[in-house]
Amino acid sequence: MKLKQTAYLFILTCLLLLSSTSRAAVLPDERADAMYHSYDGDEIQVTGPAILIRKNVGASTSVFYQYYEDNITSASIDVRVGGSPYEEFRTENSVGVDYLNGKTTMNLSYTDSSENDYEAGTFSVGISQDFFGDLSTLSMGFSQGTDSVTQRTGNNPTTFSSELSNIKRTNYRVGFSQILTKNSTISLGWETITDEATEQGGSGVTLNNPYRSYSYGTPGVNRFFAREIYPNTRTSNALGIRGSYFVNTFKSAIHYEYRWFQDSWGIQSNSLGLSYVHPVKNWELDFRWRYYTQDKADFYRDMFDFANQFTYMGRDKELSTYTSMAVGISGSYKFAKNGWGWIDKGSVNLSYDLINFEYEDFRAADDTTANPGEEPFFQFEAEVIQATLSIWF
């Protein structure tokens, strides 16, 4: 019966796509971007370059390549409590192709992320279709990825354990965009993601970070640490609503977004974002604000009563109850607006964001002036800087 329903859905989708008329959607711009990025917060510095090149091949195909690099120096709260400061290097390579046929765009991409203790590969496929006189766009996507998790042994960053956990991740996406008026658009997106981890060689590692620990003890007296115990599966659902509005008076734009999230670990979150883009001669100024709040996972506690108290036990701050707020500004200067040689146009962009994280049930266990389990709740601020050069050709 389920197979029949899937077949009906497939036939319906195909008929929908075939019922389109001939007015074409468009391929993404041909462009090259080079970016330098920097993150600095909670004694973690992450910097590195990134490049993106997108080029058409023929009239209906666009291909892209992206390279991204993280150079990480970390003495974060997790390291200060139970580890040693470390340096790490991560590279990410992505290739992809978009194919346009009438009102239908199909895309295919592969991303490989590599760091010395974590390898991840993700394959994605998607399709989108314009209809209702190009006022509406329906899109669907599917991704599948595999992560291989290992761990540094000792403080030497050149020696690693054998594989501790193998994670399979599957994403299902569906989206719908609608032109509302000649000045506004809105879009809805839904994504379900499932993770399934297989512990390797009795390592005790499933979906948990092998460097992190849960804590147990007696508040005011002592605090001990042991390796976290996570479920080996996780399923999450997210619903996003985004919209844009063109302000005729200033030729500017307002963007807004809301996302609701919940997962099988009991985490629920809401995020809200708002940005305003204002052009001034050759400049474009972008002011943005973002608010995020989340409730903790069912198996999270800052301090458990004793070791192995429950089947699953975690103390990742990302599983705790907290809020974060970000404000940012970007300035983008447009040059060669009328073309220059083989360049159609270009821009230079400088961006700064300040993010504040405030945890409600994750204590700063590195605070040795307070009694164990009675430390103040953790909070930190992070600064994010981006500098980008873009060329259209």
Count of all residues that appear for the chain in the document:
393
How far apart are alpha carbons 29 and 52 in whole angstroms? Answer: 12
> Which 179-238 residues touch another protein, going by CB under 8 A?
179, 181-183, 185, 189-193, 209, 211-212, 236-238
> Which of the stretches 117-125, 155-163, 222-230, 370-378 binds another protein when contact is defined by CB under 8 A?
117-125
Q: Give the x/- contact pattern for another protein in 280-299, rule: CB under 8 A.
A: ----x-----x-x-x--x--
CA dist., res. 253 & res. 284, Å (int): 11
For residue 139 the two structure tokens come to 């899109």
The answer to whether the CB of 322 falls within 8 A of the CB of 359 is yes
The DSSP call for residue 300 is B
Q: What is residue 265's three-state secondary structure?
A: coil
Measure Cα distances from 69 to 47, 235, 382 in Å: 8, 29, 19
* Nearest-approach distance from CB 372 to another protein, in angstroms: 23
Among 200-208, 222-230, 359-367, 381-389, the segment contacting another protein (CB under 8 A): 381-389
Q: Measured from the CB of residue 27, what is the shortest distance to another protein in angstroms? A: 14
**Nearer to another protein by C-beta: 215 or 349?**
349
Based on CB atoms, which residue is closest to another protein, 4 or 58?
Answer: 4
Contacts of another protein in 64-93 (CB under 8 A): 66, 68, 70, 72, 74, 76, 78-79, 88, 90, 92
Judged by CB under 8 A, the residue of 255, 329, 360, 366 near another protein is: 255
Q: Which residue, 139 or 373, is less far from another protein as judged by CB?
A: 139
Please state the closest distance from residue 224 (CB atom) to another protein, in A.
21
Specify the residue for token string 């970016």: 35
CB 233 within 8 A of CB 194: yes
Cα dihedral 150, 152, 153, 156 sign = positive
In the structure, how many helices (H) and strands (E) does the chain have? 2, 18
Q: CB of residue 218 vs another protein: minimum separation in angstroms?
A: 28
CA dist., res. 215 & res. 375, Å (int): 13
**Token pair for 164:** 């501790």
Q: Judged by CB under 8 A, does residue 107 bind another protein?
A: no
Residues between 33 and 52 with contacts to another protein, criterion CB under 8 A: 33, 35, 37, 39, 46, 50-52
* CB within 8 Å of 162: residues ≥ 6 apart: 150, 200, 201
Task: For another protein, give the closer residue by CB, 107 or 304.
Answer: 107
Q: Which is nearer to another protein, 145 or 372 (CB)?
A: 145
Minimum Å distance from CB 161 to another protein?
A: 15
Q: Is 375 exposed, middle or buried (0-12, 13-18, 19+ CB in 10 A)?
A: buried
Q: Would you count residue 263 as binding another protein (CB under 8 A)?
A: yes
Is the torsion defined by CA of 130, 132, 133, 134 positive or negative? negative
CB under 8 A: which stretch of 220-228, 277-285, 301-309, 371-379 binds another protein?
A: 277-285
Asked if 239 interacts with another protein (CB under 8 A), we say yes
Contact 81, 366 (CB under 8 A): yes
Cβ neighbors of 248 (< 8 A, separation 6 or more) are 183
The burial of 331, by beta-carbon neighbours within 10 Å (0-12 exposed, 13-18 middle, 19 or more buried), is given as: middle
**Binds another protein (CB under 8 A): choice among 10, 16, 309, 374:** 16
Residues 127-186 that bind another protein (CB under 8 A): 131-135, 141, 143, 145, 147, 169, 171, 173, 179, 181-183, 185
The single residue among 207, 271, 304, 373 that binds another protein, judged by CB under 8 A, is 271
Q: Which stretch binds another protein (CB under 8 A): 223-231, 302-310, 335-343, 351-359?
A: 351-359
